[in-house]
Amino acid sequence: MSADIPENFGVLGRIDPATVDVAARPRRQARNRPDPSPELREWEKGAEARVWKRPYPPNIMFEPAGLDEEEMTSPHSDPGLWALQLADAFGTRSNAVINLFLSQLQEMCGKGIWDEEAKQWRMSEVEFSAMLALVNAHRPKDEVQAMVAAQMVGLHILSMKVTARGIKYPHESRTVSNAARLAGATAELAETMQSLKGRKRTTRQSIKVTKETHIHAHRHDHHHGRASAGNSGQPHGRDDTPAAEIVDGRTSLRGEEPGRNVVSLPCVEGPDKMRPSRRQVTRSAEG
């Protein structure tokens, strides 16, 4: 092994930074980058104009205020102007509402920056300023709209963290399902914001209902012992004979089938007198 390479180099990934000369390593040369195309330069003019038309978001700076404590301060030299920016971003003129939203957003901003001079972990000013810019982008008109905007920021941060874990560990079905639910909740909050601002939904859902009527005919064959063509002799069997062959609109009085008795029906012309009731007959007999 060469004397320039430490003994534990490459062994289970253990490298002692004190024994490795990082400056002596060859660095990768920067690749050649061509000049922007004329089309891109033409687009730059309109893009710059659109950027300067957007509202200027409030930023923030943290100053150490003790052990693991920080103070939120203005990023410029005018604290009054910074307070006005925050009031416009949260849609309020109440200092209590501003402090409430700042403390809630502070809880969502993790401490991941090490301050060597203060010897403590500090919150990322870039991340906190980005959350303020996201709330400001909704241009809330009152505290309720600012509340929904802050919730959307929190859901977005949580959704991206859960989604990143779901991509890294796709076998965790619960994580993937939670990521989908968070995305749906964010979309619902976006619709709520549009509703609070008085904007109607651009999509419409139409439901068409159709009614279908089915007529079922059920035929009972009480001619026991005679097998019909469709039911194979079963009294309540299924008869596949067409309806035109089963039902006949004409009234049959006498049957022409051989081997059957002719049923005589009384035929009296004119109106028939109503038979007296049994009670009337009994009374007449008693009289």
Residue 269 reports pLDDT greater than 90: no
The band of 117, judged by pLDDT with boundaries at 50, 70 and 90, is confident
Strand partners of residue 240: none
Assigned domain for 97 exists: yes
Assigned domain for 125 exists: yes
Greater model confidence, 285 or 30: 30
Assigned domain for 253 exists: no
**Does the predicted TM-score (pTM) go above 0.95?**
no
The band of 61, judged by pLDDT with boundaries at 50, 70 and 90, is very high
Q: What is the pLDDT of residue 218?
A: 63
- Find the domain containing 192 and state its range: 55-196
Q: What is the arithmetic mean of pLDDT over 247-257?
A: 56
Question: Parallel, antiparallel, or unpaired for β 61-64 and 120-123?
Answer: unpaired
Report pLDDT digits (tens) over 186-217.
999 999 999 998 876 655 666 666 667 767 66
Q: What is the pLDDT of residue 180?
A: 93
- How far is the C-alpha of 127 from the C-alpha of 109, rounded, in Å? 7
Assigned domain for 184 exists: yes
Report pLDDT digits (tens) over 11-48.
445 666 666 666 666 777 888 899 999 999 999 999 99
Assigned domain for 226 exists: no
Q: Domain count of the chain?
A: 1
Average confidence score pLDDT of the chain: 78
Q: What is the arithmetic mean of pLDDT over 99-117?
A: 87
Greater model confidence, 231 or 162: 162
Q: What is the pLDDT of residue 12?
A: 47
Assigned domain for 248 exists: no
Assigned domain for 229 exists: no
The band of 9, judged by pLDDT with boundaries at 50, 70 and 90, is very low
Assigned domain for 216 exists: no
